[in-house]
Every structure is written in structure tokens, then in C-alpha cells.
Amino acid sequence: MKQDNPYADRLLELCEWATAYRSQQLPAAVEQRAASVLADDVAAMLAGADEPEVRRYRETVLRRKPVAESVVFAPGLPRADRMQAASINGLAGTWCELDEGFRLAICHAGIYVLPALLAEASAEELSLDDVLRSLALGYEVVTRMAMSTRYKVPVIHAHALWSAVGAAAGVVLARKGDASTLFRAVTAAATTCSLGPRPHLAEGVLIRNGWAAAGAVNGIQCADWAEAGIGGAGTSLPAIHRDILGAEMVPEALTANLGSVWSIESGYQKIYACCQHGHAAVEAALGLVQDLDVAAIQRIDVHSHPLALTLPDPQPVTTLGAKFSLPHMVAAALVYSEGGALAFSSDSLAHPEVMRLRHLVHLYPWAGPMDVPHDRPARVTIVTRDGHSRSAECLSALGGPDRPLPRDVFIAKVEALSRQTLPGLASILLQDRTDVRSQRWDDILRSAAKPPAVDLR
């Protein structure tokens, strides 16, 4: 199956490595990180489950007499066919901007792999060990493919570009497919990417939350097609990303340090309920709130990195738009003294002081070095009516691999988001419970569910 181009050869090597690795034990740190990503993203799905639009979509799907084979992460843990379960969970998982993400490329790999993988795990009675291994390896495949394309200015959102690839990789690996099948699936999935305009984020256009859901469905289909011999080709990725979208291809990223450096260890976890590009600005703003008279502020200067400066809207009209508005992130942090859900609620959009402060925010490029891990810094300066000013800066926001969330903070986050439906989720997945690794995923969920236990058989 040797391909006559360097990109295809390296992609095949990645597929061969991933499919061969399924018989090996994951490094302990990688397995623990996979469990954290699993807990984080399931909690994010539960956080979005009761948003009005997500709830209406779920109700529509569950009225259709589906084959009840896969768990939907919502109150009562209803079931749907695997395609629809993946779609519902993918939609919910991106809604609140609390899913984890990958730092070395714009790629939320966990929420690309997991909706499809967990639907497969329920339907096929896979073990937690199967889930963790497929997650870690699928994460590796999709992030390396994302790192192999380099854009000067991102035009298409990563959820639209990469969700189908992550879903296809996770499902093929869960099915223990061979390298040829994985290659066919991920190259096919790449061709199903949607043209999700990145400006839709700041505009608050809600279809943005549907791109990962659509990718989950496409990825499952591509895994099915690949088993039948239907797939993409070694030219598929370059044809899309280089020839159509203008990216530089970096084939060496597909295999560099393969097996010794794991992508999942370079992820970040969110404590602030907004786009990670603005987390440093939120953290800097929170450093200014002590003894602050918000009403006295007359100017706010924010110096930050290029990705943050693409989020300038001072007047978001939806909560999604607020999560992608740097002026709102900073203003709400100053008013609410937090960067959690309250700062991005519907009430925050119309809060008089937040509205006033948003229009006082002036954005400027960061003037200093921006070397990893300090590649997404921010400085916030406030000037009061009496002419006094004060500043705070954050070189790297809490939650990244260089500043991981304290374990108790992360556990508290997962518990807060999952307590209504899966109150035992954090204790089972995050307490190094090696005794549960061989248990079925659905049995894990039943153990974690709020009494009375839900029968998942």
C-alpha cells in the first residue's frame, strides 16, 4: 500500500503505528490523561444537555423510534441509535465551551473522537480499557493530521475541519481495524469536512455548535465505508488543505517522535467557559478585581496574541458570541469576578455594566516574545476616571500542560457538571481505579449514575 508521495507515506506510517499499538499497554501518564479527557468531555456534554436548543434537538431525535443502542448524556441517560447518540452528544459537548482542547494546533481532539467512540462503546459493549486506548490513539491520529497542515490565518473552524477525522479514527481503532482500513477512513473523513466559517464564532451563529456533531456522524459512516473498501487517498489531505485552502503541508509532523511524545499530554482543560484564546485575558482581568470600583473604569486596554485579536466584537448577541468576544470576556470577568458560566449567561449579555465596559475595551498586539508555552499571553490595563491605572498580565492561562488545573479543582469541575446525572463519574474515572478498567463502558455509567440506577443493558 506504499504511496508515491511523502505525505501519504508518513500518514500510512502513523496508521500502522496506531493500529499496532492496540495490543500494548498505554504509558501510565497517557492513560491517566485519557481518563481526564474522557471525564472532562463527558462532563461538558452533560453541561450542555439542558441548553434549550440541545434539549429540543434531543427530544426531536428521541421521538423517532430509534434503535436504542447507545447512551445519550442527558438526564435519565436515554438511548438512541449510535449515529444519533453521537450527534446529540457532539452537539452538547461543544455548547458550553468547557470541553478540553489541544495546545499545539487549533484542534479540540477529545470532542472529535469521543461522541462517536462512546456511541460505539455502548453499542458494541466495549470496556473502559478499550475506550481509553482508542481515545488516546485516535487523539494522536487527528492531532498529528491537524499539525501537518499549517495556516497563516485560520479560515475554516477546526470543528468543521477535523471532527470527522477524529471520529473515524476513534471508531476504527475501537473496532480493531487494520492500518489500511484506518488510512481509508481518515482520508475519506477529511474529504467530508464542512466549510464552517471561523467568523461565525464571534458572530454567535449557533450552527457552529453543530459542526462537531455532524463530524461525529460522518466519521462513523467513513469507518463503515472503509471496512467495505471505500475510502480516500494519499492525495486527499493535500488536495483539500494545500490546493483548496492554501495551507502549507508539514508531513514530518505525522510521525515525529511517534510513541515517545503523546499529543494527549499537550492538551488543556478549561476552568473559564469561553474560547481558550481569551483565557489569559480573563485570568489577567481577574487579577485586577480585588478592591475594584467597576463603575470608575473609563478605559480598558488589552494586549494579546494574534488568535485572541480575531475576537473583537463588543456587542455579542448570543451566549455563544459572548464566549468568542474578547471584550465580553474581560468585561464580564471584571463585573462578575469570575470566568465561569455566570459570566457568559444570558443575563450577562444585557448586564448594564458589562455592556458599558465592553465598549471601553481596546485591543492591541502583544509586543514581547510569544514562545511556547507563553504563546498565548495577555495584559489587561484599566484606567479609572481619576487617571489612575493598573495592569495585570498572564503569560499562560491556567489549564494548559505547563499550568495544569490542580487535581482538586479539576475534580470539582467534573463533579459540578455531572452531579445531576452521573454523580460518580469523577470518583470512578479520576481516582486511579485500575480495578474498573476491564468493566464495560455501560457498566461504568450505571455505577456512576444517580440512584435509582439506570438500567443500561
For residue 106, give the CATH number of its domain. Answer: 1.10.4100.10
pTM, two decimals, is 0.91
Same domain, 125 and 247: yes
Same domain, 232 and 311: no
| Cα–Cα distance for residue pair 392/381, rounded to 1 Å | 7
Whether 367 is in a domain gets the answer: yes
Choose one of 268, 289, 319: the last residue of a domain. Answer: 268
pLDDT given for residue 4 in this prediction: 60
Same domain, 237 and 293: no
Whether 449 is in a domain gets the answer: no
The residue type of 254 is L
Residue range of the domain that includes 287:
276-394
**Is 76 in contact with 447 (CB distance < 8 Å)?**
no
Same domain, 374 and 310: yes
Choose one of 368, 394, 420: the last residue of a domain. Answer: 394
**Is 71 in contact with 85 (CB distance < 8 Å)?**
yes
Same domain, 61 and 141: yes
Q: Which residues pair with 107 in a beta bridge?
A: 102
Same domain, 85 and 195: yes
Residue of 56, 95, 57, 58 lying closest to 77 (CA atoms): 58
Same domain, 324 and 214: no
Whether 296 is in a domain gets the answer: yes
List per-residue pLDDT tens for the chain, 457 residues long.
455 689 999 999 999 999 999 767 899 999 999 999 999 999 999 999 989 999 999 998 888 876 889 999 999 999 999 999 999 999 999 999 999 999 899 999 999 999 999 999 999 999 999 999 999 999 999 999 999 999 988 889 999 999 999 999 999 999 999 999 999 999 999 999 999 999 998 898 999 999 999 999 999 999 999 999 999 999 999 999 999 999 999 999 999 999 999 999 999 999 999 999 999 999 999 999 999 999 999 999 999 999 999 999 999 999 999 999 999 999 999 999 999 989 999 999 999 999 999 999 999 999 999 998 999 999 999 999 999 999 999 999 999 999 999 999 999 999 999 999 999 999 999 876 677 888 999 999 999 997 544 555 4
| Cα–Cα distance for residue pair 139/145, rounded to 1 Å | 10
| Cα–Cα distance for residue pair 71/181, rounded to 1 Å | 26
Whether 219 is in a domain gets the answer: yes
Same domain, 323 and 387: yes
Whether 402 is in a domain gets the answer: no
Q: What is the distance, to the nearest Å, from the Cα of residue 272 to the centroid of all Cα atoms in its chain? A: 13
Same domain, 264 and 285: no
Phi then psi for residue 196, to 5 deg, are -85, 105
Give 168's contacts (C-beta < 8 A, 6+ positions apart).
116, 185, 186, 188, 189, 218, 219, 220, 222, 223, 226
Whether 103 is in a domain gets the answer: yes
Same domain, 299 and 263: no
Same domain, 221 and 312: no
Whether 446 is in a domain gets the answer: no
Same domain, 131 and 256: yes
- Looking up residue 298, the CATH number of its domain turns out to be 3.30.1330.120
In the chain, the number of structural domains is 2
Whether 453 is in a domain gets the answer: no
